[in-house]
Amino acid sequence: MPEGDTVWQTAQRLHQALAGAPLIRSDLRVPRLATADLTGRQVLEVVPRGKHLLTRVEGGLTLHSHLRMDGSWQVYGPDERWRGGPHHQIRAILATAAHTAVGYRLPVLELLRTGDEDRIVGHLGPDLLGPDWDPDEALRRLLADPARPLGEALLDQRNLAGIGNVYKSELCFVLRVSPWLPIGEVPSPERLVAHAKKLLEANRNRRARVTTAEPRRDRRLWVYGRPGRPCLRCGTPVRAADQGRAGQERSTFWCPSCQAGPQGPGPGPS
């Protein structure tokens, strides 16, 4: 699932391509929006909110989309070939005279009044890359359930918005604590919030996500996606296991030597 930095980059591309110009084509390919037509309306702005994308258009309307696991928005020039996937995977087309934005495999696409945006994003915690960022509020929300495992608390967008599976694992490694450590037992939890902000800020303008400052492709991340491989810090094999409530499990990666605390549900895959 795309993380906050990826969604932020997508919003920037869409805003640069569409904002300030009237739409000459609007094609929303989901049943409940089959008759909706935004043609002639000017796109005012495209903004990210956590992992949500809000495309605001004239007339007080917002097109809300969410990428989830494999959705994407691609931007093309007038004569450029579309390469985002087969035609039947297209869910939205928004075009100005200069650019066409094509949404592929979008699992969430809805049109609502801009004044009603809180209905879909009002539950989110402070956005790590947004103007509403409030580290004190994010920390308060994280610590509201002190017994909750750190990894689960970080993924809960109601606590702070923008962290996905990659940053969850990488943040726990940077802080040298297990993803299964109760959030209330994390030493100096304010460091957790500060590091989360720092990592997303550092990567929001990068094409390739980096948390280690290593330029080599296979050493850009400390533990994520490295099960069984040597920890870049101590050489111990990185472990992986599912974490989360039944039906909501997500893969978690950690170093059992570098990270203190509970070591997950049994040995886990290597």
Pairing of strands 52-57, 43-49: antiparallel
Going from the C-alpha of 144 to that of each of 4, 150, 158, 159, 176, the distances in angstroms are 23, 12, 11, 9, 22
3-state secondary structure of 57: strand
Rounded to whole angstroms, how far apart are CA atoms 235 and 137? 37
Describe the crossing of helices 189-203 and 4-18 by its angle, rounded to 10 degrees. Answer: 40
Active site residue ranges: 2-3, 51, 250
Rounded to whole angstroms, how far apart are CA atoms 173 and 168? 9
